[in-house]
Amino acid sequence: MTDTFLAGRTALITGSTSGIGLAIAEALGRHGAKVGINGLGTPEQIDAAIQQCKDAGAPDVRYFDANLVDPKAIDAMLAEAAQWSPIDVLVNSAGIQRTAPIEGQRDNWDAVIAINLSAAFHCMSGLLPDMRERGFGRVINIASVHGLVASVEKAPYVASKFGIVGLSKVAALEYASAGNRDSGGVTVNCICPGWVETPLIESQIQARADQHGGDRDAGIADLLSEKQPSRRMTLPEEIAELALWLCRREAHNLNGAAIPVDGGWTSQ
């Protein structure tokens, strides 16, 4: 029997129509949470994401259509979500990446920072005060190994991910005393994945596969050999299991952490 320890809780997950965000939404729903999803996609893709969360066991699922580049749209989403149910768990998973040398990133900078960093700030600043009042809250920011180390041709992405790690530490400090052991407290943590098999990196996989005559497996091995000693990609479902544990009451003192899931990448 599934442990429904999140029964009575409500989660809002940005960037949850696919990839890591959707895997986390499904996991939270499977363990009893009402799930609010947000993200890009066709109506069919959004409907499919909603159905996947319902099939996982979520007692209620809502889609919140907000352009995360626009702070006013984020505020409207949070107000609509609050009318539906108080948000106990916020997962900032929305993210974009553009690869180019610094001099080629001028047109990408604002959009990457807005989606990867500013949107998370606006969601956090809007929801954390209510979490403090209730004595329980979980903010889980999907950062990246690139919030801990840099790589070439990813200036706005690396800047945004270093930024969200720092932002999370500040928020963790400011809310650390909220609640207690029994209530579960309020925590803010980052998960910092290395290579994860999601649509976000598909273009990089394909580029490497093209160098190996179209062999996708060879392209993945080539991509990982440069950075990730395990030479294994992480699955979105595995990231979701870590996010799930961070939501447990027992995790009340794991706060302000940036947890790498990178096959040893940042140990080198």
The residues annotated with a catalytic role in the active site are: 157
Which run of H or E residues covers position 65? none
Rounded Cα distance between 243 and 1, Å, is 20
Rounded Cα distance between 185 and 137, Å, is 6
The beta strand positions in 175-266, using DSSP E, are 185-193, 258-261
Angle at CA 156, nearest 5°, toward 151 and 158?
Answer: 40
CA distances from 46 to 62, 97, 199 (A): 10, 21, 15
Selection from 66, 14, 8 nearest residue 37 by Cα: 14
3-state secondary structure of 190: strand
